[in-house]
Amino acid sequence: MANLQKQRYYFFAFLIIYMFTGIGALILGSTWLRQSADGAPRDAVISKTIEQTGTYLGGIVAATAIVGFIGGASPIKNKKYLLAFVVLMIMVMAAELGLGGVIWFKTLRMRSLFQTQWLTWPDGLKIAFQDMTSLKGYSQCCGYPQNENVVYSGACTKETVAIFPGCGEKVSAFADGYLRKLYTSLFAFTVVNVFCFISTVILIQTRNDEERYIRIGKKEGRTYTNVI
């Protein structure tokens, strides 16, 4: 029984971390969806569909954690919840890897995507990139890719546009950094899921052994109380 309790502690430790990754993704995604995307550089990098998918995935992770808590509270009695949690985690990991793969693949074709997307972006978004000075190594720029399709605003005027470079490099650098953080976070979440998955499998095996000992003990006439 002592070994089972020890495995439960490990399981709950990883389960809490797993749950917080889901809650964090849910809060962040909900915040992004509530914010107006017009004029926000983030809108050029990730679509609303990706934001919604990440939000839903965070909610699913938090919900599946509840199943894990029910199973871990009484592993001998609630084995079916632990088994269900294992299946749900496999599905969550597949979804996270899939979403991370989609985001990573986007980094491979950013330039071709943004060259056509610049034409469809609202002027507010173009101006945000043209005037962006917070990105290290990049200052004022005008148009995309090289002084074409310029939104005349601020420092970008018809008289000064030729002085500044196009925004192609700046947009790509911003998007690359942003997307790297996103898919790295998703893959990190998957690592957490793997540890939680392993701890769950170990807990199931430990409770199976404990259940077998109890069954043998009952045949020998021993009684057990407060079995978890």
Question: Is 22 a residue whose pLDDT tops 80?
Answer: yes
Question: Is 34 a residue whose pLDDT tops 70?
Answer: yes
Which of these, 11, 3, 22, 21, lies nearest to 73 by C-alpha position? Answer: 11
Q: pLDDT tens digits for 47-56?
A: 778 888 888 9
Return the structure tokens found at 73: 């509270």
Label residues 152-189 b or e (16+ Cβ within 10 Å = b): beeebeeeebeebbbbbbbbbebbeebbeebbebbeeb
Identify which has the larger pLDDT, 70 or 41: 70
Domain ranges of the chain: 2-109+175-219
Mean pLDDT is lowest, of 38-42, 73-77, 185-189, for 38-42
Place 100 in a pLDDT band, splitting at 50, 70 and 90: confident
pLDDT value of position 72: 92
pLDDT value of position 218: 67
Q: pLDDT tens digits for 111-160?
A: 777 878 888 888 888 998 999 888 888 889 999 877 788 999 889 998 88
Rounded CA-CA distance 174/110 in Å is: 11
Cis peptide before 41 (omega within 30 of 0): no
User: If DSSP states are collapsed to H, E and C, what string results for the chain?
Assistant: CHHHHHHHHHHHHHHHHHHHHHHHHHHHHHHHHHCCCCCCCHHHHCCHHHHHHHHHHHHHHHHHHHHHHHHHHCCCCCHHHHHHHHHHHHHHHHHHHHHHHHHHHHHHCHHHHHHHHCCCCCHHHHHHHHCCCCCCCCCCCCCCCCCCCCCCECCECCCCHHHCCCCHHHHHHHHHHHHHHHHHHHHHHHHHHHHHHHHHHHHHHHHHHHHHHHHHHHHCCCCCCCCC
State the average pLDDT over residues 205-209.
89
pLDDT value of position 224: 52
pLDDT value of position 38: 52
